[in-house]
Amino acid sequence: MKIIDLNSDMGESFGPYTMGDDAALLKIVTSANVACGFHAGDPLVMRDTVTKAIAEGVDIGAHPGFMDLWGFGRRQIPGQKPEDVEQIIAYQIGALQAVAKMHGGKVTHFKAHGALGNMAAIDEGLSQAIVNAVLRVDESLTFVIPPYSLTEQVAERAGLKIAREVFADRAYDDSGYLLSRKLEGAVIHDAELAAQRVLEMIETQSITTVSGKRMPVQIDSICVHGDSPESVEMASKVKAVLVEHGWLLRPLSQNPKFS
């Protein structure tokens, strides 16, 4: 049986400002990574995203980032003390858990956002802080992590459940990690191209870098970012191509590997 999760980062609106079309995406994806108020989102946006996810049968995941609303959590913030990072992540997970519980849902997975995740990928201390937060708040959470990162190694050593994800809309460098958004071609906007790339990745269980290098990876989840204008079209196209080729789209909590 070929099972794959399709996830998207969402709940990234704030007050009167709307980011993405979460309602439409939640009818397509199987898992939602919900912003927890630091890089985006607020208590009411969290509530709306969680209740819509519950109604659509979509898994709810915590998606914490740096305290950086102005920079959408994509600006690197150096000099962070690991113990402080651990605390801000615990705070954000707990906030989403409270919102989910209040409305009859449950947080089932975790995924670091933006610069926080990118910095941790090459910083073992930061990776350990993230892992410690998950272990101490709820070690049952499935940790969604890009492959070829230090965070993956630290989480694996700690015994956390790990779901490795690849991105439909991002290119990879020769380290096996995401190509910097500062570089041309880092973000893919063509839905058809993204869908064909996803199919190739999961059929071959590998990623192909910008130089043409192929690197093996065990793929459990596909991410389509929710903040771009083409998000809904891309997610819909990816889903259609996967279903056409015999893949069952299921949230991580319904994958026997993680349940």
pLDDT value at position 240?
97
| Burial label, 20 (beta-carbon count in 10 A; 0-12, 13-18, 19+) | buried
pLDDT of 234 reads 95
Q: 69 pLDDT exceeds 90?
A: yes
**Amino acid of residue 98:** A
User: Is 171:188 a contact under the CB 8 Å cutoff?
Assistant: yes
**Rounded CA Rg of the chain:** 17
Domains parsed from the chain with CATH numbers: 3-254 (3.20.20.370)
pLDDT at 259 over 90: no
Q: What is the pLDDT of residue 226?
A: 82
Strands (E), the chain: 3-10, 31-35, 59-63, 107-110, 142-145, 161-167, 206-208, 214-216, 221-223, 248-249
Residue 64 neighbours by CB under 8 Å, 6+ apart: 36, 38, 39, 88, 89, 92, 93, 110, 112, 113, 116
Q: How large is the angle between the packed helices 82-102 and 43-56, nearest 10 degrees? A: 60
Higher-confidence residue of 179 and 37: namely 37
pLDDT in tens, 72-117: 999 999 998 999 999 999 999 999 999 999 999 999 999 999 999 9
Total residue count of the chain as it appears in this document:
259
Q: Is the pLDDT of residue 1 over 80?
A: no
Binning pLDDT at 50, 70 and 90, where does residue 59 land?
very high
Q: What is the pLDDT of residue 180?
A: 84
Query: Using CA atoms, how far apart are residues 107 and 43, in angstroms rounded to an integer?
Result: 15
Check residue 177 and give its pLDDT: 85
Give tens-digit pLDDT for 160-191: 999 999 999 999 999 888 888 888 888 999 99
| Number of Cβ atoms within 10 Å of the Cβ of 19 | 19
